Structure 1
Amino acid sequence: MGTTRTFSIHFWLNIAKRNGDSAPIYARVTVDGKRAEISLQRQTSVTYWDTKAKKTTSRTPEGKALNTYLDQVYAKLLQCHKQLSAEFELVTAKSIKARFVGHDERHKTLLELVAYHNQNMKGVLKPGTLKNYYTTENYIRRFLVREKKTNDIYLKHLKYSFIIDFEQYLRKGPSLQNSNPLNNNGVMKHLERLRKLMNLAMDLEWLEKNPFTRYKLKFKRYKKEFLSQEELKLFQEADIEDKGYGIVRDIFVFSCYTGLSYTDVRLLDKSNIVVGIDGERWIFTQREKNEQPVKIPLLEVAKQILEKYEDHPHLNQGKLLPVYSNQKTNAYLKEITALLGISKNLTFHSARHTFATTVTLSNGVPIETVSKMLGHTKISTTQVYARVLEEKISSDMSGLRRALSFSNNTRERGIINL
């Protein structure tokens, strides 16, 4: 069945693996004298095998079906050779075999793409970000097994419908953490990571068409909780007897007056406190999230908290504040707000919002300055807080309008009565 001097296809029985009268069928591809053998996952009777025609002579329906299959394999191997030649790829026996069985660059799978990304992003992405990709990978694996009944899928088989099906699976199925389904933004985050993986596949030329082309991520905007001036004052001045609650309250208030995130507060050490150009103490640090340099003048409240914990016995080596785990901190915050009668769902990140709104922007600090202190790479990120303030101003002015309207109406009635 040779086609050219340098390329031939040969079907043969592997007698070494014979079982009674049956033996497995193999295809041998030869290019320039070098071979690659492919198991065709079929067996046939040694008695009926024609070594010259490379087919079975059996006239049974099974025999006819086998010969049809061998013809299809032969045609597919010829096609693989033709494709590699047309793509100016190196044509070898191994490359033809790889194309035939789907292990070459054109037949990468989704999980191969995920593994490639995660391996190459070590040291590039932050550990927390990479951890999120591992979580997305776990959801993909569960989806493939439970919904698609497969352990993996070729990238070329990914369609728009795959994205929709995966979205619905995430919305309906239990999360990895508990039995509750993910919220909308949690679903969108996983789809956002999957979209980035598809973009990588396009860049690597492992994918011809991106299934995300017509898909739009739909994030919901949730209200950013922060403390008003009165609530912040209550938080600061409340007499809290529990020592653990007291520490969490102080660390939270420290963040309200510095704008630092939980991770950045936890990493603060003595080297981060320097004397600024004004002769006052400043925090010079780098945001863990985006490595953006941050310079923040220490306000009086923040100074007092640092001094309070200067000699705390549970401080880690060189650290400035005794910060509990993120989970414990947020759990304590919920209990503290309940004790203080503040009906807001606060997390530690709310302190950062409080710094941006109540402490700085509300007191006339320019948005450009606030953006620098928050370590934002784009001022549009900071403008979210400005919009929050606009809503607050609008609400306050509505109250003023009602008050003025009531006052004017009262005055008019008084004039008429006169």
Structure 2
Amino acid sequence: MRITLKSKRPIDISMGHRINIENWDTERQRVNSAERKANDINGEIEKWKSSANEVFIRYGVLEHREPSPDEFKQLFNDEIGRKLVFEESNEIQGIISVESAFDEYINSVGVQNSWSPSSYKKNETVKKHFVSSLNGKSFLHIDTDVLHEFIQYLLKKGLRNTTVAKDYQFVRWFLSWARRKGYYNGRADEDFRPRLKGTDGNQKEIIYLSLDELKQLESFQIPVTKKHLYHVRDVFLFCCYTSLRYSDVKKLNKSDIQGNKFRVVTQKTADAIIIDLNKKAIDILDRYKGVKGRLALPVISNQKYNQYLKELGRLAGLNTETQVVYYKGGRRYDEYYPKYELLTSHVARRTFVVTALQLGIPVEVIIRWTGHSNYDALKPYVAIVDTLKRSEMDKFDQL
């Protein structure tokens, strides 16, 4: 229930009931009969509405004015005969602040889902932005307008739409958790789905190496003065041939490898998957069989790895001009880079997916190797392969 006083911030009252949104009659402002306990809830709505009107009547007749928010709260609570149901500040006993709840969420869910350090850091950043955008508002005030304000807050910081969309998803996960804990009774996170340009899954920017570029990198003769790039190339190519993420190849043990396959529990999703090894991947592993230690490959820090990948790509001549398109709000940005400047550890995983699709391997098989949850996650890759098929067919026009 929401009470609006002249020139005052609306007062929200949580009645403590949850119903299916389809069973709410907006015009009548009542629960439809299809909802269980509809009569009880509607009766309580009538009682609360009557109590609210009684407060206004008393102040109107006796003092010829509207009550202040604090006066309204006190008399309304007396009318319905229960303890304080409002949250005016985050210091009210028994009411948890959004920031405290977010801290609890990070600590409990992080342990439960075995978050990586980067996941903790990302959630801390999102918490900081969300709490700042609320400007002191509590859970009782979080509605679609408040979530819209959060989106605008992020956009004003100059973040790309893709980043804004990801940050909002983090907030949605948090609010869903808060609802299960009983901290948040609203449904704004389910109702509010912002449409941001460039965030459609099919428009996802995917940087990958073509088959020709993969062969070019593989056959490139690394100068003897650049020995540090040998291991970097081996690790990168191994990921190109197996779909492994950097976080997983870094902790791959020799004991994980059983013949022509290996088992890995992914750090990002904690899923256990079995990946078959092809000849190229086995050849790379064989180079390090005699190296002391339990790790299968010599993986350096992610920062150095990405730095050296760009150096390797430049020396190998991966200079194809590559367009990067992104949006900030409604404005589109087009930037162009030589391919080597865009090389990162994740390019290997994307290269694996595109190559596998080009080779005609069924999507159902690919997701068993990559650990993707469903076909939708691979739609952007399928779109790339469809485009490549079109360009290849055009070669017949040159006959």
What range is the shorter-chain TM-score in?
0.5 to 0.7
- Match among 349, 354, 361 for residue 352 of structure 1: 349
- Match among 184, 209, 214 for residue 232 of structure 1: 214
- 2:81 and 2:124 map into 1 onto residues whose CA distance is 34
Structure 1 residue matching 2:281: 3-state secondary structure: helix
Correspondence 1:395 to 2:391? yes
**Cα distance, 1:78 vs structure 2:** 4.7
- 2:129 and 2:182 map into 1 onto residues whose CA distance is 25
Residue type at the aligned position of 2:297: L
CA distance 1:156–1:70, shift in 2 (3 Å) = closer
Structure 2, gaps ≥5 residues long = 1-64, 321-338
User: Comparing 390-399 with 375-384, which one deviates more in the overlay?
Assistant: 375-384
The equivalent of 1:109 in structure 2 is 97
Whether the 8 Å contact between 1:114 and 1:197 is mirrored in structure 2 is yes
Correspondence 1:243 to 2:231? no
- 2:360 and 2:85 map into 1 onto residues whose CA distance is 69
**Percent identity over paired residues:** 26
Structure 1 residue matching 2:285: 3-state secondary structure: helix
- 2:180 and 2:365 map into 1 onto residues whose CA distance is 38
TM-score, with normalisation over the residues of structure 1?
0.65
- 2:241 and 2:298 map into 1 onto residues whose CA distance is 17
The equivalent of 1:362 in structure 2 is 358
The equivalent of 2:287 in structure 1 is 308
Correspondence 1:331 to 2:307? yes
- 1:71 and 1:262 map into 2 onto residues whose CA distance is 59
Whether the 8 Å contact between 2:241 and 2:280 is mirrored in structure 1 is yes
CA distance 1:188–1:70, shift in 2 (3 Å) = closer
- 1:370 and 1:377 map into 2 onto residues whose CA distance is 11
- 1:225 and 1:386 map into 2 onto residues whose CA distance is 14
Correspondence 1:322 to 2:298? yes
Structure 2 residue matching 1:190: 3-state secondary structure: helix
Whether the 8 Å contact between 2:204 and 2:380 is mirrored in structure 1 is no
The equivalent of 1:60 in structure 2 is none
The equivalent of 1:130 in structure 2 is 120
- Match among 363, 375, 378 for residue 379 of structure 1: 375
CA distance 1:104–1:206, shift in 2 (3 Å) = farther
- 2:257 and 2:168 map into 1 onto residues whose CA distance is 40
- 1:214 and 1:382 map into 2 onto residues whose CA distance is 26
- 2:247 and 2:253 map into 1 onto residues whose CA distance is 12
- Match among 268, 272, 280 for residue 256 of structure 2: 272
Correspondence 1:215 to 2:190? no
The equivalent of 2:107 in structure 1 is 119
- 1:299 and 1:261 map into 2 onto residues whose CA distance is 17
**Cα distance, 1:112 vs structure 2:** 2.9
Larger radius of gyration: 1
Whether the 8 Å contact between 1:107 and 1:154 is mirrored in structure 2 is no
CA distance 1:84–1:113, shift in 2 (3 Å) = farther
For residues 71-128 of structure 1, give each alpha carbon's deviation from its aligned partner in whole angstroms, at most 9, with x where no partner exists. Answer: 986764453355564xxxxxxxxx6599786656995432133123223213223323
CA distance 1:69–1:284, shift in 2 (3 Å) = same
- 1:192 and 1:76 map into 2 onto residues whose CA distance is 35
CA distance 1:99–1:110, shift in 2 (3 Å) = closer
Residue type at the aligned position of 1:233: K
The equivalent of 2:161 in structure 1 is 184
- 1:366 and 1:76 map into 2 onto residues whose CA distance is 63
TM-score, with normalisation over the residues of structure 2?
0.67
- 1:388 and 1:97 map into 2 onto residues whose CA distance is 55
- 2:94 and 2:144 map into 1 onto residues whose CA distance is 19
Matches within 5 A, 1:38-49: none
Residue type at the aligned position of 2:266: R
Correspondence 1:168 to 2:165? no
- 2:365 and 2:72 map into 1 onto residues whose CA distance is 68
For residues 318-357 of structure 1, give each alpha carbon's deviation from its aligned partner in whole angstroms, at most 9, with x where no partner exists. Answer: 1111111112211221222222221322221111122222
- 1:256 and 1:208 map into 2 onto residues whose CA distance is 46
Structure 2 residue matching 1:267: 3-state secondary structure: coil
- 2:246 and 2:256 map into 1 onto residues whose CA distance is 16
User: Comparing 70-79 with 194-203, which one deviates more in the overlay?
Assistant: 70-79
Residue type at the aligned position of 2:345: F
Which has the higher relative contact order, 1 or 2, with Cα contacts under 8 A spaced 6 or more apart?
A: 2
Correspondence 1:202 to 2:202? no
- 2:390 and 2:155 map into 1 onto residues whose CA distance is 36
Correspondence 1:285 to 2:264? yes
